Each structure stands twice: as C-alpha cells, then as structure tokens.
A and B are shown apart, each in its own frame.
Chain A
Amino acid sequence: MAAISPQHTFDGEMFSAPLVHTDSNLLSCIEPDYKPFIPGNSLRRMTRVLKMGLTTALKCMQDSGLGTPGPIVTGTGKGSLQDTEKFIREIEQYKETALNPTPFIQSTYNSVNGLIALQLKCTDYNNTFVHRGFSFENALLDSIMLLAEGAANTLTGAFEEMTAEHFYIKSRIGFWKTTPTDSSALYSHSSPGSVAGEGATFFALTATPTPKSYAAITSFRMLYKPTAAKLTAILQQYREGVDLVINGRNGDSNHEHYYQAADTVLTGIPQLPFKHLCGEYDTAGAFGLWMAAHLLRSQQIPTQWFPSGTKLPAQINRILLYNHFYGEQHSVIVLEKT
C-alpha cells in the first residue's frame, strides 16, 4: 500500500509525525520528492495529480514486492482538474484554435493509469472508474471480481486533487463549511458542509495472502441512497465480531444522521473517524481503507491523530469501515487481520 495525503503518510512517518491540521477548510497533500520515482523528462509535463497518482502507485508496487502488476484498476471523481481547467481556459483564450495537446490528453480520467502502465511496462487490463463517491469502490469491486476470475494480483487505487477554482465552485453549492474550521476539531463543529481534501492511495491486492499482506477484505457492500432501514440492516449484518469501526464522519450536519444511525447499530464498538486527516473528497474512502489496513497490521493507532482518547481494544482482528459521500454513495467494508 502507499498513500500521499495531507498527513505524513508517504514516508512511513505516520506514528511519529505530528497531526497536520488547518483552519483554511482545505487539507492539501504533503507531496514527496518525485524525482526518485519519475524520470525528469516525463516529470516536466505532468501536473500535480498525475505525479501524485503515479508516484503512489510505484511506491505501492515497491512495498508489495510483487514486481510488475497484473490489472491496473483505479477510481477518480474528477481526474486531473489542473489540466481540465487549463484546457478549458485555453479554449476561450485562443478562440478554439492553437490548443496545446498536453492538457487535453492529461485531462482525461485514465491518464494516470496510462502513465503507470507505461512506466511499469504493463500491458494487462487497465481501467479507470469515474462514479463520483463510488469511483474507488467500483475500482475495488472490479478488482475483487478480477481476482475471483483468476488474476494473481491487481494494482488498485484512487486519486483526487483540489484546485482553487474547484474549491470555489463546490463552496457555492454548500460542500464546505462557511466559516474557518480547524480540521482537528472537525467533529465538534456540526454545521452544514465539511472541509475539502485530496489524496492518492494505492493497494496491491492479491487473491491469496502474502507475507507482506496488511489485511484481508472479507465483506464489501455499496449502497446508493439507502433508506435508514436498509442501512441499519446491512450494518447489523456485518457488526458480528467487529473490534473497531472506522467511519467517514465529516462534521456535515446535513448528512450526520447516517452516522448517528450507524452509532445506534454499532453501540459498544469503539469508533475512529478519518476525515479530519484527509478531508472530504470523492475517493476519500480509499484513505479510510488504507488506515484500516495499517491499523490491522501494526496493531497500533497513531495516537497524535486521535487526541480524543477513544478506548481501543487490546487486539484488533476485525475492522468495519463505513463511509458515505454526501449521503448518496455509501460503502461498508469489513477487513480482517491476515
């Protein structure tokens, strides 16, 4: 696994590095030095999310020890916004003539996948899912089906970036809080909207566990606009034997009732939220999955990330991850220690 996020996740400093927080209502990624991963001649053309996505994928493959990946499957809600914005701006500026090819090519959602495949010389199955809050989850579902059909492994991930322009557009439709909110105190500010985030997260999934495996995904459900009864029934079905719940709570009072319903069903099981670490974005669920898998393998919690002093179990064998994107796309994933 590998993750570039607003926290110090890329270089393995998560247990020692301090919690990164902001009151700008936008949690931006801490970017690594890309030069050890991407040749300079390729790097010069890439915009931010392409560098983030490609580097995370390469680090993930290094971490997995698997060599060349099989299928490459990703999810993104928006793809490269920087390239999309540049391309659209130039259409207007140059009256639809003399347009640079690069921003157009890179504005397509599957460009990160293409770059990964080119750099790793991988000619296997290659697919990118673009389904708003279900983008990563559909990539995960496709990967699970590929593994069930015989693929030895998949490189599965998600990437998202936030730009000033997109932040402004989303703020106009009520996605973000209207007053500066410290991300470390996100859950105590129950008001409409959340704080924006971004990130790139990749997983090497295998059909059978390897010595390097972090965790096993044992159950997975996607629910589109579920009724309270449906959501409650699904959570009830999966709560058996769960030691810890990781939830996608984001301080947004418009959709908090789903998490409150989950609290009722999951009473007695300790819970940890993750959106104060990565912010809210279409594929934030991938960060939640990354965190859950890390906790299962390390059996440790980065205490500086969760100062509230939640009482945690001595052993974490099974984690339930529940997340939703603005009340529409809900996902429930159960992970177990391998």
Chain B
Amino acid sequence: MEELKKKLKEQIIEALNLQDTKPEDIDDNAPLFGEGLGLDSIDSLELMVLLERQYHIKVEDPREGRKILQSVQSMAEFIQSKQPA
C-alpha cells in the first residue's frame, strides 16, 4: 500500500504538472481539492484519465468519482480494491 501511494503521488505530480510539489509534500489523507493541493474540476477529469491509463480502471459513476478522488489514501484504496487478489 505504501509503495502504491508513493507511486500514485509521483503520477499525480507528473499528470497535473505540479512543478513545485514533491511526493513527500502530499499528505496521504489531505483533501486533493479545495484545500490541500487546491485542485479543480479539470484536474478531477485528468485524475480519472490517470486511473484509466495507468491502472486500467474506468470510473463510470461521477458520484463514485467524488469519493475516490478525495485523497491519495482513498485513491490508493480504490485501486487496490480493483486489483486481482
């Protein structure tokens, strides 16, 4: 799980071009939107694309997306839940 979260942070920084942010600056449980990283609605679409490209997971329901993209922790838990046991 820790390895997945570290990788996910690196992928978020690259996908969203967060130039002055390092993986260690992102708190696992801090909100990605509004406070925390201060991401916006276009970033949420970019993160959906990240999940599809990197983890082959398509989020069909936008309401589900809101919960998944709450934090790095929630994204990692969702990815892990979709991976084959």
Interface residues of A (CB under 8 A from B): 40-41, 44-45, 94, 97-102, 105
Nearest CB in chain A: distance from B21 CB, A? 10
Closest residue of chain B to A93 (Cβ to Cβ) is B53
Contact (Cβ within 8 A) B46 A100:
yes
Nearest CB in chain B: distance from A324 CB, A? 39
Contact (Cβ within 8 A) B49 A45:
no
Contact (Cβ within 8 A) A98 B52:
yes
Contact (Cβ within 8 A) B42 A102:
yes
Contact (Cβ within 8 A) B16 A101:
no
B: contact size bracket? 10 to 19
Nearest CB in chain B: distance from A28 CB, A? 22
Q: Indicate whether B45 reaches chain A with its CB closer than 8 angstroms.
A: yes
Contact (Cβ within 8 A) B42 A105:
yes
Closest residue of chain A to B39 (Cβ to Cβ) is A41
Contacts of A41 in B (CB 8 A): 38
Q: Indicate whether B83 reaches chain A with its CB closer than 8 angstroms.
A: no
Nearest CB in chain B: distance from A86 CB, A? 13
Closest residue of chain B to A101 (Cβ to Cβ) is B45
| CB interface residues, B 13-52, toward A, < 8 Å | 16-20, 38, 42, 45-46, 49, 52
Given contacts A41-B38, A45-B42, A105-B42, are A99 and B20 in contact (CB under 8 A)?
no
Whole-angstrom distance between the alpha carbons of A5 and B20 in the complex? 28
Contact (Cβ within 8 A) B53 A40:
no
Given contacts A41-B38, A45-B42, A105-B42, are A99 and B16 in contact (CB under 8 A)?
no
Whole-angstrom distance between the alpha carbons of A41 and B38 in the complex? 8
Closest residue of chain B to A99 (Cβ to Cβ) is B49
The listed residue (B19, B49, B52) touching A44 by CB distance below 8 A is B19
Contact (Cβ within 8 A) A44 B53:
no
Residue among A94, A97, A100 having the largest count of chain B Cβ atoms under 10 Å: A100
Given contacts A94-B53, A99-B49, A101-B46, are A40 and B38 in contact (CB under 8 A)?
no
Listed by A's residue number, 8 A-B pairs whose Cβ atoms lie within 8 Å are A40-B20, A44-B19, A45-B16, A94-B53, A97-B52, A98-B52, A98-B53, A100-B45
Whole-angstrom distance between the alpha carbons of A98 and B16 in the complex? 15
Whole-angstrom distance between the alpha carbons of A253 and B20 in the complex? 49
Interface residues of B (CB under 8 A from A): 16-20, 38, 42, 45-46, 49, 52-53
Whole-angstrom distance between the alpha carbons of A41 and B42 in the complex? 12
Contact (Cβ within 8 A) A44 B42:
no
Closest residue of chain A to B48 (Cβ to Cβ) is A98
Nearest CB in chain B: distance from A291 CB, A? 35
Whole-angstrom distance between the alpha carbons of A300 and B18 in the complex? 45
Contact (Cβ within 8 A) A98 B20:
no
Nearest CB in chain B: distance from A115 CB, A? 13
Contacts of B42 in A (CB 8 A): 45, 101-102, 105
Whole-angstrom distance between the alpha carbons of A99 and B49 in the complex? 7
The listed residue (A45, A97, A98, A101) touching B17 by CB distance below 8 A is A45
Contacts of B16 in A (CB 8 A): 44-45
Nearest CB in chain B: distance from A42 CB, A? 10
Whole-angstrom distance between the alpha carbons of A181 and B53 in the complex? 44
Instruction: Please list the 5 inter-chain residue pairs (A to B) with the smallest Cβ-Cβ separation, ordered nearest first.
Output: A98-B52, A44-B17, A101-B45, A98-B53, A100-B49
Whole-angstrom distance between the alpha carbons of A97 and B58 in the complex? 10
Residue among B45, B46, B49 having the largest count of chain A Cβ atoms under 10 Å: B49
Contact (Cβ within 8 A) A98 B18:
no
Closest residue of chain A to B46 (Cβ to Cβ) is A100
Contacts of A45 in B (CB 8 A): 16-17, 42
Whole-angstrom distance between the alpha carbons of A94 and B52 in the complex? 10
